[in-house]
Structure 1
Amino acid sequence: QTQAQTQSQSQSQQLQAQAQTQSQPLPYPQYNIFESSDQFIIYVEACGVARNTIEIEVNKFDAQRIYIKFNYDQDIEDGLHCLKRSFFVPKDEIKMLIQLPKSFDPDKDAKVELLCGMIKISLGKLEKPITKKFKIY
């Protein structure tokens, strides 16, 4: 084989691998985290999610993590076979943990909305870190 043929085969294999990777569904919904001067806004993919199944929890003592649970509201009829899958719709409950880069205040301007297939979570930032100094005896 010539060097050009070998290079062409290598490029073809790379493109095939890339196409396979792109066509495989991701195991969890994707999310984006935005930050402004006073809040965090998190958008989670939730197309086909039943509103009444969404649960979001935060822990005041670990105010950098958000726990999210929900179910997709998609019933697949018996006898149907998926011919192409470009997004992941599990039958089981989705459980996610989102780690924020900084702490938030769960009591300050917290809001959750379901908008056009996206869960929007708005959380106010923690104004000042809560610290406590200990005296050594």
Structure 2
Amino acid sequence: MTDPQPSVLLNTGTWMPLLGLGTFRLQGQEDSYNAVDAALTAGYRAFDTYAVYHNEAQLGHALRHLLPKHGLSREDVFITSKLGPKDQGSKARDGCLRSLEQLGLGYIDLYLIHWPGTQGLPGGG
């Protein structure tokens, strides 16, 4: 990371910013672009998304276009996404690969299980 900001060193040797933009209700390319632009301007370097939010592609598009505007590269931001309940178990790898494809940023810094189990899904607990 090139910008000094409160961060924590993960056991992987990667610095994770402590302040980030959550994208839970972020929808639409224009709104995504404007929110990411404002966040980068304010110094945010972490972005959190989730396949279930249906905005990974919009977030990736905004970052690919806005990072150069702000003099930043992919390595300057920390991207988190999450595994949805329908992709848990044997489908986890496919879920992660879909998120990677949607984001179009080359890699995800942190991939989480949003919640364990498949409660509420057909055949789930």
Q: What TM-score does the superposition give when structure 2 sets the normalisation length?
A: 0.26
Higher helix fraction (1 or 2): 2
Higher strand fraction (1 or 2): 1
Which protein shows a greater Rg? 1
Q: What TM-score does the superposition give when structure 1 sets the normalisation length?
A: 0.25
